[in-house]
Structure 1
């Protein structure tokens, strides 16, 4: 989700960035200031321990992740059908990017199901960084402080925080996990624009992020 090996320290996802840096703490990422975005997978690269995450409805792809890639979504149900759908599809996009990293496939269909435009292009670059460094993510990533607004023009604005303090980069060839100290940059804020497509899926078209945001500090 999201983490980033220090090697990958800064990419941009539309105006934002993904940083594959020790997601765990430090400035990792799933992935993640303009240097980060989420998304994340080791030797089990070829066969991740499947941990299916909601799928099927509306032809949505099945998400399967290694057992050591976990999440804590503290996003609350709003009671509004559209807002809750935005949150649900955004969650699936995050997991789909991590699945692509785990599979070491920058063109994996699942994350492209949930993203288009600059968001999809930057996610591809982000995933490629992990592939180039033969790395993936491991650990727990937490998402919180969400805010979603659905507009009359068929788009939605979503802002949320990511806690990478317990998520790290894992290298496939050695199996080594790069554990880094927790700093303010372990907390990232994201702002995304989503649009409901003809299939009823809220796809992310644009996503920007900033590390060390005061909004996300514990």
Structure 2
């Protein structure tokens, strides 16, 4: 189950044996491993990709409100391709929404369910529940980088990206204490996701796998 160490709890890993790798990413094709940290997002320090979802849906998108002590960097520049930029945007919103559900201790939060379906949604619910059970949330700083996108003709897409979790930690909601740990290679995580464009014009994450300590993501 959960590794109750000073590192973050398990990464969002859907119950699947397949990795959804973008063809040209050069990622290591290994099964997902149980992790102690997660993806999350909030304020960007770089340009945010612009969505291509229907404008009528923009107003319906959930508002993301995260704790002020949780900061993020998304080094995901716009590609100039409308579809790819929309995938990047909605993939980013998904990880934001998961962090918000953790902060609000709500495993059925509407925000992450707006941006996910199927295995990814089910895996997210179980993952968030772990934080609820232990009365923990995430604090610190997380960095996302080296995103690669492939959009397919059938309305699906692959998104692969790295996360540096070395400055993100568990924070106890019971005591208010933060469990700070030293940096390690295990703090670099490679994520492989599969998304689908739904009838609302939103790229929803359907499946997600991760690889901790990936040589692809280490500096």
Instruction: Quickly name the TM-score band, shorter chain normalised.
Output: 0.7 to 0.9
1:134–1:171 CA contact under 8 A, matched in 2: yes
Tell me whether 1:146 sits opposite 2:147 in the alignment. yes
Correspondence for 2:171: 170
Alpha-carbon distance, 1:172 to partner: 0.5
Structure 2 residue aligned with 1:159: 160
> Which residues of structure 2 form unaligned runs of 5+?
18-31, 52-56
1:35 is displaced (CA, Å) by 1.9
Name 1:35's counterpart in structure 2.
34
The aligned runs of 1:1-218 (5 Å cut-off) are 6=5, 8-9=9-10, 12-15=13-16, 33-36=32-35, 38-39=38-39, 57-218=58-219
**Normalization by structure 2: what TM-score?**
0.80
Q: Is the 8 A contact 1:5 1:169 kept in 2?
A: no
CA separation of 1:136/1:61 partners in 2, compared to 1, >3 Å: closer, same or farther?
same
Q: In structure 2, how many angstroms separate the alpha carbons of the residues matched to 1:65 and 1:9?
A: 20
Cα RMSD, aligned residues only: 2.5
Alignment partner of 1:127: what SS? helix
TM-score normalised to the size of structure 1?
A: 0.80
* CA distance, structure 1, for counterparts of residue 186 and residue 95 of structure 2: 19
Q: Kindly state the Cα deviation for residue 76 of structure 1 after the two structures are TM-superposed.
A: 1.3
Larger radius of gyration: 2
- Alpha-carbon deviations, 1:139-171, whole Å to 9, x = none? 111000110000000000000000001111100
Three-state SS of the structure 2 residue aligned to 1:6 is: coil
Paired residues of 1:39 and 1:101 also in contact (CA < 8 A): no
Kept in 2, the 8 Å contact 1:86–1:202? The answer is yes
